[in-house]
Amino acid sequence: MQNPCPCGGFLYSSCCAPLHRGERQAATAEQLMRSRYSAYALGEVEYLLQTQPSPVPLARRCRELAASLGQLHWQRLQILAVTAGGPHDLSGTVTFEAHYDAAGQRGVMRECSLFGRAGNSLEGGWLYLEALELD
């Protein structure tokens, strides 16, 4: 049986799985956002580390991320707005709501995420850069 993709796309095997396996890169900032949400939902730590640059040592990031993944159970992703972030852009934003369950309590994480291309080049893959303040 084929599993639906956590990001709300079609089947996981043809939606976010190829990105998680490194078979292709996200074509847009929204596609990277969706694949990162799915990676959180499925515990794809390596993919999350690869798609977010950080000065923090890799071993520490890995430990912290692995510890946080077991605390939340992601239920649903809703994309609210997308600004730029297309195949011919160097940056873009995605505003979303990620619904989760934590110890029996339901919650919603709302964020406007900034994405950019590695090396500030159209040939560079999309990366999650930071959370921006919401109005």
Supply the DSSP string of 8-30, one letter for each residue: SSSBGGGTTHHHHTTSS--SSHH
Here the tokens at position 28 are: 């847009």
- 74 part of a folded domain: yes
CATH classification of the domain holding 77:
3.10.450.50
- 33 part of a folded domain: yes
pTM over 0.85: yes
Please choose, from the candidates 94, 95, 88, the residue with its C-alpha nearest in 3D space to the C-alpha of residue 115. Answer: 94
- 6 part of a folded domain: no
CA pair distance 88, 108, nearest whole angstrom: 31
- 4 part of a folded domain: no
Helix (H, G, I), strand (E, B) or coil at 130: strand
Q: What is the per-residue DSSP string for 66-103?
A: HHHHTT-EEEEEEEEEEEE-STT-SEEEEEEEEEEEET
Mean pLDDT of the chain: 95
pLDDT(73) > 70: yes
- 123 part of a folded domain: yes
- 78 part of a folded domain: yes
Number of domains, the chain = 1
- 40 part of a folded domain: yes
Provide the residue count of the chain. Answer: 135
Tell me which residue range forms the domain holding 114. Answer: 12-132
- 45 part of a folded domain: yes
What one-character DSSP code corresponds to residue 63?
H
pLDDT(111) > 90: yes
Tell me: the pLDDT tens digits for 2-23?
A: 899 999 989 999 999 999 999 9
